[in-house]
Amino acid sequence: MIILQYTGIVLGAIVGAYVIFILFMGLLPRKPVPAQPLEKAAPAAGEATATASAARQEVSFEVNGTAISAWLFLPEERSGPAPCIVMGHGLGGTKSAGLDAYAAHFQKAGFAVLAFDFRHLGQSEGEPRQLIWIPYQQEDYAAAIAYARSRDEVDAGKIALWGTSLSGGHVIVAAARDHDVACVVSQVPLLEGDAGGMEVIKLVGLKHLLRMAFGHGVRDMVRSWFGLSAHKVPIVGKPGTIAILADAGAWDAFCQLASDDLVNEACARIIIRMDKYQPIKHADKIRCPVLLQGCELDIGVPPSIIEKAQKRLGERAEVIRYPIDHFDIYLGDHFEQAVADQVAFFRKHL
């Protein structure tokens, strides 16, 4: 009995200390995290940002009363409703930060494209601004699919999904839930949030990861519970700075893809949610073909995770690997090769 009482006291003390800690981290006044405005780089010929002139319509649809901004690209020559590719960007990305480049290729190949901004980002509505919340983004994909199917110009029986990085995981979940999806492209997909493991720790350091999670992620989450202003951190930053991705490759890619509405900032709560995201668990529920595009030098989405997803998908999986890093696939010749592979895949299955 004495042992049980002692154990109860210890556990109560631990829980109490933890509650005090998270309240302290969330409510104690502190200076804002230094901003890191993106240094916009002039795109080189052929890079993803160089094809923003594709004809498109400004459209919108709603999710729970919040307006979602989207672009609808239609093929120039069509005799009837066209197959449609639904696209959302990766972590903090907006449709104007490179999606138009992919859409131009797909449009030229004869497909319709619906590219949209997630709620709280880009031209879409939603407060607080720069909130990246996985359940909301999954709802946004489902609403975008429904909107695409509602358009007379679109063949509702031929809807494909395209996602990259974080949204590369979203499209796996979406296809698992919607068996009427015709096919999926999942580019450098976040399939297991903690897949990078020790390699990520080696890159940025354990101290940085703990600081981001407990010093910033917990603070923002706690403040959201009390209806206080969001605590925000840069999405990308130079090595050694405070940012979700403090990595030179991420920084350079974001600067190359920077658009006027791409804000290098996010509500920090995503830091303590993204590592728990497990889209790969949904893979065996998918009934359509899936193109998995992995990068052999990608520590966040290591080749072993692509192989694991391939096994879960079985004969539905088509896998292409590139000898590059995660962010290389968005730029230059690597972009051209990746998008050419995607066009071939869509032509095959749409």
Q: What is the pLDDT averaged over residues 57-75?
A: 97
Closest alpha carbon to 97 in 117, 113, 112: 117
pLDDT at residue 108 in the model: 95
Q: What is the pLDDT averaged over residues 283-293?
A: 97
Q: What is the pLDDT averaged over residues 172-198?
A: 92
For residue 62, the cross-strand partners are 67
The terminus-to-terminus CA distance of the chain in angstroms comes to: 69
Q: Which comes out higher in pLDDT, residue 54 or 45?
A: 54
| Cα gap 328→322, rounded to integer Å | 10
Residue 335 has pLDDT above 60, yes or no: yes
pLDDT at residue 17 in the model: 64
Residue 262 has pLDDT above 80, yes or no: yes
CA atoms within 13 A on the CB side of 128: 19
Q: Which comes out higher in pLDDT, residue 294 or 26?
A: 294
Q: Which comes out higher in pLDDT, residue 1 or 350?
A: 350
The model's pLDDT over 87-116, given as tens digits with 9 standing for 90+, comes to 999 999 999 999 999 999 999 999 999 999
Q: What is the pLDDT averaged over residues 141-169?
A: 98
Positive or negative: CA dihedral 326, 327, 333, 336? positive
Band (pLDDT 50/70/90 cuts) for residue 45 is: very low
3-class SS of residue 76? coil
Residue 31 near residue 215, CB atoms below 8 Å: no
Q: Which comes out higher in pLDDT, residue 72 or 204?
A: 72
| Mean per-residue pLDDT over the chain, rounded | 90
pLDDT at residue 51 in the model: 45
Band (pLDDT 50/70/90 cuts) for residue 47 is: very low
pLDDT at residue 307 in the model: 96
pLDDT at residue 32 in the model: 84
Residue 264 has pLDDT above 70, yes or no: yes
3-class SS of residue 307? helix
Residue 23 has pLDDT above 80, yes or no: no
Chain center to CA of 46 = 24
Residue 52 has pLDDT above 50, yes or no: no
The answer to which of 31-40, 69-78, 133-142, 228-237 has the lowest mean pLDDT is 31-40
The answer to which of 44-53, 89-98, 126-135 has the lowest mean pLDDT is 44-53
pLDDT at residue 29 in the model: 73
pLDDT at residue 79 in the model: 83
Q: What is the pLDDT averaged over residues 27-38?
A: 83
DSSP alpha helix (H) spans, the chain = 2-27, 99-108, 134-150, 166-177, 197-204, 206-210, 218-225, 248-257, 271-274, 303-313, 332-349
pLDDT at residue 50 in the model: 36
**pTM exceeds 0.75 for this model:** yes
For helices 218-225 and 2-27, angle between their N-to-C axes, nearest 10 degrees = 90
Residue 222 has pLDDT above 60, yes or no: yes
Residue 1 has pLDDT above 80, yes or no: no
